[in-house]
Amino acid sequence: MSTIVCPEHPSPVADAEALRKACQGWGTDEKAIISIIGRRNATQRKLIRQAYEDLYQEDLLKRLESELSGDFEKAVYRWILDPEDRDAVLLNVAMKQTPIDYRVIVEISCISSPEELLAIKRAYQIRYKHSLEEDLAQHTTGDIRKACNNFILFSKFLVGLVSIYRYKGEEINAKLANSEADILHKAVAQKAFNHEDVIRIITTRSKAQVLATLNHYKDDHGSSVTKHLRDDPCSEDYLSAVRTAIRCINDHHKYYEKIIRHALNKPGTDEDSLTRVVVTRAEKDLKEIKELYHKRNSVSLDHAVSKDISGDYKAFLLTLLGNEID
């Protein structure tokens, strides 16, 4: 469930005017900005951007970028974008990093529904005039040349994940789950990097089918396959990407809870990860993630966030987390 608190029928024109006022004169009224955009859903924000453009012949996003700064600016920028456009930006930024931030690529491709992923690919093409697949393939092939042969697996795995238009039916084939659990076990046990099948199973099967296979694996071998996909220094990135994908498919709330926990526990805080999870999940399931966080850490996420970060950035994230900030 969503954590943001939105009025039912806010006036986009009144919102645009208030935002204009908050950006004019000496200094910026960050509080006013937060209290508006932190309490509007994606459709409402889109209407505000449109109204702002109509009224002032100016892109609200560009204006806010020039008024704000630091982590606060970044969070506002990501929040205001349409969700599919935001994910396209996150993917582009992640693949351009050195080393590639594969977590973002894995989580967006594995957690989005097939239709959502398709919308993200369309948004990516509109924004970057390339396909997501070609850019990712190019960036990861670059890595292959530099590094050991197992980067071929890494590249193939990531490109496979973003390329697939998965079947979303819930029906599963138990016999197939059984035989593919065996295939996984053989690939993992041999450590022979005959991972073509591992990649095929995780990147192409429906999520329901992957889950059934993972469950069979657990039943047959006493522990999760992620426990066995370890301890090979040469293919650490590839194995880590596979483990991430399995976690995302298996229970993405738990996955996000862990990302937030690590982001907050890191000395100095990993603001990028924190922002990413809060901004991308606020309208979807941040409530469930908050509950898991509380259960796992014996402290509420609101409390942890307000202890760890500060200023307008803190006020904004707390608003997205559903708090009244005044």
Q: Which is nearer to a copy of itself, 208 or 264 (CB)?
A: 208
Q: Does residue 141 touch a copy of itself according to CB under 8 A?
A: yes
Query: Considering only 30-38, 70-78, 162-170, 242-250, which stretch makes contact with a copy of itself by CB under 8 A?
Result: 162-170
Query: Considering only 16-24, 59-67, 88-96, 203-211, which stretch makes contact with a copy of itself by CB under 8 A?
Result: 203-211
Locate tokens 């645009």: which residue?
16
Query: Considering only 32-40, 100-108, 158-166, 251-259, which stretch makes contact with a copy of itself by CB under 8 A?
Result: 158-166
Q: Does residue 196 touch a copy of itself according to CB under 8 A?
A: yes
Q: How far is the CB of 131 from a copy of itself (least distance, A)?
A: 4
Structure tokens at 275: 């922002």
Rounded to 10°, the helix 102-111/114-128 angle is: 130
Cα torsion 20, 22, 27, 28 to 10°: value is: -110
Q: Does residue 160 touch a copy of itself according to CB under 8 A?
A: yes
Q: In a 3-state reduction of DSSP, which class is residue 112?
A: coil
Q: Identify residues 64-123 at the interface with a copy of itself (CB under 8 A).
A: 118, 121
Q: How far apart are CA 136 and CA 142, in angstroms?
A: 10
Phi/psi-derived region of residue 270, left when phi > 0, alpha when psi is between -120 and 50, beta in every other case = beta
Start-end of H helices in 205-285: 207-221, 225-228, 236-250, 252-265, 271-281
Q: Which is nearer to a copy of itself, 41 or 194 (CB)?
A: 194
Amino acid at 52: Y
Q: Which is nearer to a copy of itself, 184 or 289 (CB)?
A: 184
Q: How far apart are CA 298 and CA 292, in angstroms?
A: 10
Instruction: Choose, by CB under 8 A, the member of 55, 147, 164, 211 that binds a copy of itself.
Output: 164
Structure tokens at 289: 């993630």
The secondary structure element, H or E, covering residue 189 is helix 174-190
Q: How far is the CB of 230 from a copy of itself (least distance, A)?
A: 24
Residues contributing to the site for a copy of itself (CB under 8 A): 118, 121, 125, 129-134, 137-138, 141, 144, 152, 155-156, 159-160, 163-169, 171, 196-197, 200, 203-206
